[in-house]
Amino acid sequence: MDYYAIKHFHMGCAAMSGSLFLLRGYWMWSNPARLQQRWVRTAPHVIDTALLASAMTMVVLSHQYPFVQGWLTAKVLALLLYIVLGTIALKRGKTRAVRATAFAAAVTTFLYIGSVAFTKQVWPF
């Protein structure tokens, strides 16, 4: 397998995942019924599965592992935070204020993950 092909596939999946999250956040405020469409409920799982599979493939091919490489550890921990925040933002938040705060925090966390991936530094700023 070509590492760079997997890397570009991974980056494309990350872009699709982030874009769809932003779209779902917009629909949550403007037209919540759109969130019930079958493809809207299914696509994130397909995209995120491909994203995770490509990440695991890159880990194996590069021999760079989370909990060994600090920047990969930061990405994994930030990913877990992003998942929790995204769930609160789109499903579990009890009030609009809680959902909006969780959404903003999730977007910030997503940007942090991308920055860490680009710089390979835990503190990319």
For 67-94, the pLDDT digits (tens) are 999 999 999 999 999 999 999 999 999 9
- The pLDDT confidence band at residue 44, using thresholds 50, 70 and 90, is very high
Give the residue from 43, 63, 83 where a domain finishes. Answer: 63
Do 59 and 1 belong together in one domain? yes
Do 58 and 76 belong together in one domain? no
Q: How far is CA 16 from the centre of its chain?
A: 9
Do 46 and 70 belong together in one domain? no
pLDDT at 11: 98
Q: Per-residue pLDDT averaged across 5-22, rounded?
A: 98
**Entry pTM:** 0.93
Give the residue from 10, 44, 63 where a domain finishes. Answer: 63
Do 79 and 58 belong together in one domain? no
Do 23 and 36 belong together in one domain? yes
Do 83 and 106 belong together in one domain? yes
pLDDT at 108: 98
pLDDT at 60: 96
Exposed, middle or buried by CB within 10 Å (0-12, 13-18, 19+), for 9? middle
- The pLDDT confidence band at residue 113, using thresholds 50, 70 and 90, is very high
Do 16 and 54 belong together in one domain? yes
Do 16 and 38 belong together in one domain? yes
pLDDT at 104: 98
What percent of the chain has a predicted confidence (pLDDT) above 90?
Answer: 98
Range of the domain at 112: 66-125
Cβ atoms of 124 and 118 closer than 8 Å: yes
